[in-house]
Structure 1
């Protein structure tokens, strides 16, 4: 049996006295794409950020390929090499060119040779239709282009797991398709991904498994076709009814 790439057991997180994650258990196999869905405040983004310890948790364990994320063997930056993350707000440095944004972590954090980092960055930019924008600055790009650069930046360190947090939420509708096409491509290349998304049609298309969170718990999970067409949990049904009524599925 193949060891899970990501294993989450009994994960609990409080913000003050507010319980945000309540005994969450989840495993993600190598090359699997898992989409996390649910209403705002259900714990999706917090769960995502706990995986690479951008957010500390109170109880439970998270392991990558069987090694706890708390293991000192990761060193200061080892976890960030293995797990890339992309946010909805891009988080690009405005005073740096596209190429400088992409190569900053590989060079400064992970010690990659500068020329090798630039070559890797150019290869990725070209692959994602941004080959001519290496010298441009973020403000010169559209929202969709900035989000693609953010994904390229996350891929520059050759991560084995990619976390995507509502990466289309800040985009105009006509730009969403470009970003979703990149995620489809990454799935085709075998990237392991955990995706927080409000794009239900996309989740149904790209996910191997969908997890519905409510009140900080995964209350139902399964293959997209089954979960979206015949959910078993009443809370899942109620959520999807609202999504359908809003024309989002």
Structure 2
């Protein structure tokens, strides 16, 4: 019995060293494979998807399940299509549950977990002053409200607060119209916007005004990029009327933050 086992091992080793291929349930292991298992032994038949039952270990170390030409370290083909999907990957680690996603830690160890979208907080600095009568290229003022985002798509939310100085008006209900735009360090309206870019509100004399807005952007560069809030393009302006403390960090109202998104 021992001699038979030894003979078998020697035979396998000899075959492997000689041909560098092992075929199981097939006499024709695929080229460039070390091990090729054809579970149904059907690769000589005609028809489609005859490799879906195959397991292959390539000479480059790639493993293929359902394919005889694995392109990565693990390549799985289930035969599913966009119209008729066929999911065949199942991981039971104790964390599995409805609507979980597979996430990894810093070492690449994966587990099922609740999905938490990427979040990035912005910066709110000192408030600025903007004269409502500014026109032309000066009609916009850069605030100190910024947010720096990695490449990809993001949905930015902001709340920007401001007040006006007190001036004499004949109409106690006098108000001007203030606009806010998302730009970058060189333009008042970023070209990365994939949604509306301006929001506005009325500003009453001597009162606080708050403008809420949101914007979807797509940072297509390969590095983090900083986006800036601008205020201006004031309509129904008045001489001597200024917007004060625009985007002031200490007012308790102004804030800016973003979440990762995927807009098709």
The TM-score with structure 2 as length reference comes to 0.20
Greater fraction of residues in strand: 2
The higher relative CO (CA closer than 8 Å, separation ≥ 6) is in 1
Higher Cα radius of gyration? 2
Greater fraction of residues in helix: 1
